[in-house]
Structure 1
Amino acid sequence: MVKTKGLEGVVATTSSVSSIVDDVLTYRGYSIDDLAEYTDFEEVIYLLWYGKLPSLKQLAAFRNELNENVSLPSELIAQLKSFPIKNIHPMAVLRTCVSALALYDKEADDTDDQANLRKAIRLQAKIPAIIAAYARICEGKEPIIPEVPLSFSANFLYMLKGSIPDQTSEAAFNKALVLHADHELNASTFTSRVCVATLSDMYSGITAAIGALKGPLHGGANERVMKMLSEIDGIDFVEPYLQRAFANKEKIMGFGHRVYKNGDPRAKHLREMSRLLTKVTGEGKWYNMSIKIEEIIRREKGLLPNVDFYSASVYHCLGIKHNLFTPIFAISRTSGWIAHILEQYENNRLIRPRAEYIGLKHQAYVPLAER
């Protein structure tokens, strides 16, 4: 048996959803650079699920379907209001609510192809509604369901803040969603595929993926990046902060990647968006600190920023609370999770790897009375 820690270097399956070859990320063969520059997130969702970019007519119909499925069951709203506000992470709330959504979906256990696509629409539409609703409830406000059709990006920001976002904010959030949509066989995507490979339902697969994304070594990294920036709080304090971290052998979040050797291709898009947003909002210190941190980490450790590093300052400048960074990652990555779940169902085989046993051997059983 071939064994490797963390399955590094192991090719576990074939997929046509996305690829990382020579540090180039593509969705269905389209460069992430082109998609980030030219597409709306709804187009990317359609591309990931259906394998092709939509026509104008197809995109309009797809947007309508998403908008029509935003509303949450009243019972789920009541459940959200019953949750404790203190000492609870929104990812735990999202994990619980996505699981609960299945209880209100009569097609939850229907694995027919068309039923799965209908559930995909419902999940993709309702996950941002859950996050925005809980965020508002925590502020003592009522959840909002948009009355006027908006883009997917604008819809979330409106549900979160109660006002239609400006074009710069909408474009920035849209680009972030596009960049985070899929990333080959990452931890949460693999988790979703392992789950549905048992022929469990889509809600279970997404719930499992959210559980994997919750960890700070995966989706939680951008939240930790913003925590670091807040602790530094000034460009003059960057060098001493990092030198202390190096001396204490602390991990600096937002740098390095298991797959990319010459840098994450998504980082440059978020770096530029961070520059623009921090300038517009008058919060240039976050960008300036980030640039300084990048220079020092590159010099001292030879590491380059990944997608999480600059997404932190982007979300901060959009006025998004820091504990929502990882749930927002889930909004985007749901599109990729669903694409992989659909692909797993299409050509399924139970995922069951082996483990090399390294424990004690030839143990003699001792009766309880004699121990």
Structure 2
Amino acid sequence: MSDGLDDVVAAHTVLSEVDGAAGRLVIRGHSLAELAGRTSFEEMVALMFDGLLPGLPQGRELSMALGHARADLFGIVERTALADGLGPVEAVRAWTAQIADGEGPDTALKLLAAPAVFTAAAVRKQRGLAPIAPDPALSQAADTLHMLHGEAPTPAQAAALDTYLVTVADHGLNASTFAARVVASTRAGLVSAVLAGISALKGPLHGGAPGPVIEMLDAIGEPANARAWLEDALDRGERLMGFGHRIYRVRDPRADALKQAIARLGADAGRLRLAEAVEQAALAILRERKPGRSLETNVEFYTALLLEALGFPPEAFTCVFALGRTTGWLAHAREQIETGRLIRPQSVYVGPQPRQAA
């Protein structure tokens, strides 16, 4: 038996392969390097759903359908007070639960559009600002930033968010994707599967982790402080956020894709100089202190820098992660519905046995 189901094969999939030893991520026959920075969110959706969701619009029609779905979903924000007093993740989950469940393309389109509308609205409500209606003519990435800030983003900003959404779209049978597949296997519907994914993603051991990277960078402050701060943190028994991964034994390829996206925003975007100094110091210290372990930079580190540079607050980072990963959740859910059966693993009972009567 493997605790945590490590190395247990629970599905056969055409969607993605994670090679932790080689630091390689393959999505539907393409390496991440082929996709990140070259593919839009809409193109990634089309790639992921190829052959899995008959009736899904293609090409320009897909972008238009997503725009109309965002406009329709804004009505949920306008007519309900569900999210009042909730944090962004809980607000997104509560609003998403108002979508009627189903297994077809109309439901999938609404779920793909939902995190864009609901994340921006939740952040603005938290800031005491009125939510901004979607612009169906914009791309998903551009409209997300428009709804967040109240103005159209630059092409570079929209491209940076596209890069992030593509980079995190799918990543094997991670915890949230497995949760979505389990729920899909019961035929509960795509909304239920996505809600399971969101609920798993919010955990600090999964998608809830990028926010603390910002706290670490805030505490370090200047590149010159990096090594001393990091060593003190390790002396206190703390984990260095943004380093190490359950699967990767070398550098997470997604970290490089996101670092390049930040660089393309401009020399002054984000806190790239500080981040690079922290990364170099952390990797050196980890090699010195933990020579038998491979603890490399993971996706969380540059996720935090990129999303901060685009104006998302740390408490909404998990919501933006969900905006990208919903593509993977839905594709896996559809694959499970089409090719799988009810997921029902066994457990090994290790408790006491009933006492036998004399």
Task: Identify whether the pair has TM-score above 0.5, normalized to the shorter chain.
Answer: yes
Whether the 8 Å CA contact 2:175–2:206 is kept in 1: the answer is: yes
Whether the 8 Å CA contact 2:32–2:254 is kept in 1: the answer is: yes
Partner letter of residue 36 of structure 2?
A
State the Cα deviation string for residues 289-320 of structure 1 (Å, max 9, x = none).
44334433553334111111111111111121
2:12 corresponds to which residue?
A: 14
Whether the 8 Å CA contact 2:200–2:206 is kept in 1: the answer is: yes
Whether the 8 Å CA contact 1:35–1:178 is kept in 2: the answer is: yes
Following TM superposition, by how much is the alpha carbon of 1:208 offset from its aligned partner in structure 2, in angstroms?
Answer: 0.6
**Of 219, 224, 230, which aligns to 1:242?**
230
The answer to whether the aligner puts 1:122 opposite 2:110 as a matched pair is yes
**Pair 148,337 (structure 1): closer, same or farther in 2 beyond 3 Å:** closer
Whether the 8 Å CA contact 2:244–2:297 is kept in 1: the answer is: yes
1:295 corresponds to which residue?
A: 283
Partner letter of residue 210 of structure 1?
I
Partner letter of residue 198 of structure 2?
I
Whether the 8 Å CA contact 2:230–2:282 is kept in 1: the answer is: no
**Of 265, 268, 289, which aligns to 2:253?**
265
Describe the SS at the equivalent of 1:83: coil
Query: Matches of 2:33 and 2:83 in 1, distance apart?
Result: 43
Unaligned runs of 5+ in 2: none
Partner letter of residue 91 of structure 2?
V
Following TM superposition, by how much is the alpha carbon of 1:23 offset from its aligned partner in structure 2, in angstroms?
Answer: 2.9
The answer to whether the aligner puts 1:361 opposite 2:353 as a matched pair is yes
1:100 corresponds to which residue?
A: 98
Name whichever of 173-182 and 64-73 sits farther off. Answer: 64-73
**Pair 364,73 (structure 1): closer, same or farther in 2 beyond 3 Å:** farther
**Pair 247,208 (structure 1): closer, same or farther in 2 beyond 3 Å:** same
Describe the SS at the equivalent of 1:260: coil
Name whichever of 258-267 and 213-222 sits farther off. Answer: 258-267
Describe the SS at the equivalent of 2:17: strand
Partner letter of residue 23 of structure 2?
D
Describe the SS at the equivalent of 1:101: coil
The answer to whether the aligner puts 1:32 opposite 2:32 as a matched pair is yes
The answer to whether the aligner puts 1:74 opposite 2:75 as a matched pair is yes
Describe the SS at the equivalent of 2:350: coil
Percent of pairs with identical residues: 36
**Of 217, 225, 249, which aligns to 2:213?**
225
State the Cα deviation string for residues 119-164 of structure 1 (Å, max 9, x = none).
1111111221011111112222222223461121111000110111
Name whichever of 180-189 and 227-236 sits farther off. Answer: 227-236
Matches within 5 A, 1:34-49: 34-49=34-49
Whether the 8 Å CA contact 1:41–1:152 is kept in 2: the answer is: yes
Partner letter of residue 325 of structure 2?
R
2:2 corresponds to which residue?
A: 4
The answer to whether the aligner puts 1:59 opposite 2:40 as a matched pair is no
Partner letter of residue 30 of structure 1?
H
The answer to whether the aligner puts 1:315 opposite 2:307 as a matched pair is yes
Following TM superposition, by how much is the alpha carbon of 1:272 offset from its aligned partner in structure 2, in angstroms?
Answer: 2.4
Whether the 8 Å CA contact 2:83–2:90 is kept in 1: the answer is: no
Describe the SS at the equivalent of 1:25: strand
Query: Matches of 2:108 and 2:118 in 1, distance apart?
Result: 15
Whether the 8 Å CA contact 2:185–2:337 is kept in 1: the answer is: yes
Partner letter of residue 88 of structure 2?
P
Report the TM-score when normalising by structure 1: 0.87
Partner letter of residue 27 of structure 1?
I
1:368 corresponds to which residue?
A: none
**Of 156, 159, 172, which aligns to 2:147?**
159
Describe the SS at the equivalent of 1:26: strand
1:135 corresponds to which residue?
A: 123
Query: Matches of 1:177 and 1:237 in 2, distance apart?
Result: 32
Following TM superposition, by how much is the alpha carbon of 1:275 offset from its aligned partner in structure 2, in angstroms?
Answer: 3.8
**Pair 306,198 (structure 1): closer, same or farther in 2 beyond 3 Å:** same
Query: Matches of 2:32 and 2:112 in 1, distance apart?
Result: 21
Query: Matches of 1:282 and 1:122 in 2, distance apart?
Result: 32
Query: Matches of 2:122 and 2:200 in 1, distance apart?
Result: 21
**Pair 262,163 (structure 1): closer, same or farther in 2 beyond 3 Å:** same
**Pair 75,16 (structure 1): closer, same or farther in 2 beyond 3 Å:** closer
2:179 corresponds to which residue?
A: 191
Query: Matches of 2:74 and 2:156 in 1, distance apart?
Result: 32
Query: Matches of 1:333 and 1:82 in 2, distance apart?
Result: 22
Partner letter of residue 205 of structure 1?
A
Following TM superposition, by how much is the alpha carbon of 1:75 offset from its aligned partner in structure 2, in angstroms?
Answer: 4.6
Query: Matches of 1:164 and 1:8 in 2, distance apart?
Result: 44
Unaligned runs of 5+ in 1: 103-107, 366-371
Query: Matches of 1:81 and 1:242 in 2, distance apart?
Result: 41
